[in-house]
Copies of this chain bind each other. A is one copy, B any other.
Amino acid sequence: MLNFQSEKLKDEVLLRDPVHGYIHIEDKVIFDILQSKEFQRMRRIKQLGPISYVFPGATHTRFEHNLGVYELTRRICNIFSKNYPSREPDDGLWDDSNRLLVECAGLLHDIGHGPYSHTFEHLFGTNHEKIGQQIITDPHTEINQALRQVSPNFPELVASVIAKTYPNPQVVKMISSQADADRMDYLQRDAYFTGVNYGQFDLSRVLRVIRPYQDGICFTNNGMHAVEDYIVSRYQMYQQVYFHRVGRSMEVILHHLLQRAKVVYKTGTLQVTPSLAKFLEGNWTLDDYLKLDDGVMETNFSLWLNSSDPILADLASRYLFRKPLASIRIDEDTKGLLPKLKDLIKQAGFDPTYYTDTNSAFDEPYDAYKPTGKNANSQIEIMQDDGSLIELSQLSPLVKALNGTFQGDERFFFPKTMLSQSNEPQIFDPLYEQFQRYIKNGALHYLRRPHKK
């Protein structure tokens, strides 16, 4: 019934990609999306934001990641249409008339992201998912115009795939599930650009064992270990890259910097570019949002270096010139000590509102079916020879160990000065010494014996 067709390009366009080799573009609609100004803007938004402060190679952008997800959906469609073509409705196999839809959804799944999305959303009430839907469905965007080549309701269909309301679960889960093209691309890509090889899993093998079934996408029996390895790699990337304490520290600074800018803006003394001003005013449009990127933000931070507000100027300098806060692990038990620590920090001359923070980073590496969870029913299934399905954690001791757990830590951030030491004990600053007595093996702890050390 549905049969989305696009004009084909006369010659396939190939883009070099260090992760997938080549990105293949055969359809005019894909090419036109790429050419749109909303999509080109992604070139100016780093995929990992402040994490590039920890892993200097991680300068890759959302542009490349979106292309990568598109390429993976294209390859999965190739595999499905070759090996599992649907022959009659509801046979649980792949209907390749959905190809263009899923490819566009892959390409556009992150289109609503702006610079430092997480921090920005928190402070300015933006929502990258809603904005993404708007970019796709608003008739004034170049992306919408490109999509309408296929059919008048094609933009809405693409948006529904990303919103997970499209009725075909195979299409939806190729983009959004515990083993989707999105995650497969970002894990490989982030591992490549950070240079950490524990994030790499055997993508070629995962693609070899992926298959459609009635309720979505699963994996064939001989692929259990490939999928297990992917889950473990994902866990490793979270623990070692995404949750890196210094990356989180830079994000804390960023948050406080923008928070302070809101305060200073009200005084009327803030130098700011027009696009960002709209957000500080709380009066922005989609067009303003599309004008933001990492460079615009950093240009503003650079303007703020000369601000008469010393906290703003200092935080801008800390962000631009990479002066992270220090941090220690805390837990429910030791949190009671934080007021005492903040007090010492205040005595040392730092406003705790802007120079301290607590930050939790926990990820659920895998979860089997939880009826009430937000990822309900997205568990990974392994298909047996006889067509029955077994949920992954039933087969893998590693996935079983991670299933339903939350891995990560909670940290308290504070100025590095508090850790100062001196080789001459007599001149060791008593304030700092007092502070440091609460730290052992990188964690906050109660003093057992008051004058220990």
Query: Smallest distance from the beta carbon of A163 to chain B beta carbons, Å?
Result: 27
Query: Smallest distance from the beta carbon of A267 to chain B beta carbons, Å?
Result: 20
Q: With an 8 A cutoff between CB atoms, is A197 at the interface? A: yes
Contacts of A226 in B (CB 8 A): 198
Contacts of A200 in B (CB 8 A): 197, 200
Contacts A37-B320, A202-B197 given; indicate if A208 touches B295 (C-beta within 8 A): no
Contacts of A205 in B (CB 8 A): 198
Question: How many residues of A are counted as interface, with CB atoms below 8 angstroms from the partner's CB atoms?
Answer: 82
Of A37, A57, A240, A298, the most chain B CB neighbours within 10 A belong to A57
Query: Smallest distance from the beta carbon of A42 to chain B beta carbons, Å?
Result: 10
Rounded to whole angstroms, the CA-CA distance of A441 and B386 in the bound complex is 6
Contacts A239-B225, A321-B37 given; indicate if A56 touches B64 (C-beta within 8 A): yes
Contacts of A323 in B (CB 8 A): 35
Query: Smallest distance from the beta carbon of A274 to chain B beta carbons, Å?
Result: 8
Q: With an 8 A cutoff between CB atoms, is A61 at the interface? A: yes
Q: Are A442 and B385 in contact (CB under 8 A)?
A: yes
Q: Which of B43, B384, B402 contacts A441, CB < 8 Å?
A: B384
Q: Which of B60, B67, B204, B317 contacts A21, CB < 8 Å?
A: B204
Q: Which of B36, B56, B197 contacts A17, CB < 8 Å?
A: B56
Query: Smallest distance from the beta carbon of A268 to chain B beta carbons, Å?
Result: 18
Q: With an 8 A cutoff between CB atoms, is A413 at the interface? A: no
Rounded to whole angstroms, the CA-CA distance of A440 and B386 in the bound complex is 8
Contacts A59-B60, A208-B14, A322-B40 given; indicate if A401 touches B397 (C-beta within 8 A): yes
Q: Are A302 and B291 in contact (CB under 8 A)?
A: yes
Segment touching B, from A116-124, A187-195, A338-346: A187-195
Segment touching B, from A154-162, A228-236, A372-380: A228-236
Q: Which of B16, B229, B397 contacts A407, CB < 8 Å?
A: B397
Rounded to whole angstroms, the CA-CA distance of A174 and B188 in the bound complex is 33
Q: Are A225 and B208 in contact (CB under 8 A)?
A: no
Query: Smallest distance from the beta carbon of A444 to chain B beta carbons, Å?
Result: 14
Rounded to whole angstroms, the CA-CA distance of A442 and B40 in the bound complex is 27
Q: With an 8 A cutoff between CB atoms, is A18 at the interface? A: yes
Contacts A56-B63, A401-B397 given; indicate if A240 touches B221 (C-beta within 8 A): no
Q: With an 8 A cutoff between CB atoms, is A405 at the interface? A: yes
Contacts of A308 in B (CB 8 A): none
Chain A positions within 8 Å of B, measured between CB atoms, are 14-19, 21-22, 35-37, 40-41, 43-44, 46, 52-53, 55-57, 59-61, 63-64, 67, 192-198, 200-202, 204-205, 208, 221, 225-226, 228-229, 232, 235-236, 239-240, 273-275, 291, 293-299, 302-303, 317, 320-323, 384-386, 388, 397-398, 400-402, 405, 407, 440-442
Contacts of A196 in B (CB 8 A): 16, 202
Extra A-B contacts (4), CB below 8 Å, given A17-B195, A40-B322, A232-B398: A56-B67, A291-B302, A296-B298, A398-B402
5 A–B contact pairs at CB < 8 A? Answer: A17-B56, A19-B195, A59-B64, A225-B239, A295-B298
Rounded to whole angstroms, the CA-CA distance of A397 and B41 in the bound complex is 40
Rounded to whole angstroms, the CA-CA distance of A290 and B232 in the bound complex is 43
Rounded to whole angstroms, the CA-CA distance of A232 and B37 in the bound complex is 38
Contacts of A320 in B (CB 8 A): 37, 40-41
Q: Are B18 and A57 in contact (CB under 8 A)?
A: yes
Contacts A208-B14, A398-B235 given; indicate if A40 touches B321 (C-beta within 8 A): yes
Closest to A322 in B: B40
4 nearest A-B residue pairs (beta carbon): A295-B295, A401-B401, A18-B195, A299-B299
Contacts of A291 in B (CB 8 A): 302
Query: Smallest distance from the beta carbon of A286 to chain B beta carbons, Å?
Result: 15
